[in-house]
Amino acid sequence: MQTQGDPILEQRGGCLTLTLAAGLCGFLLVAAVIVTGGLVIYFLVPLALLAAFVGLNYLLWGWAMPAPAAAEAPPAAEDAAPGTGGDGFTELAPDDPRRARHD
The 10s digit of each residue's pLDDT in 23-56 is 999 999 999 999 999 999 999 999 999 999 999 9
Please indicate, yes or no, whether the overall pTM of this predicted structure exceeds 0.85. Answer: no
With a cut of 80, say whether residue 69 has pLDDT above it.
no
- C-alpha 92/C-alpha 70 separation (Å) is 31
- C-alpha 24/C-alpha 30 separation (Å) is 10
Mean pLDDT value across residues 77-100:
66
Q: What pLDDT does residue 71 have?
A: 58
What stretches of the chain adopt beta strand conformation (E)?
A: none
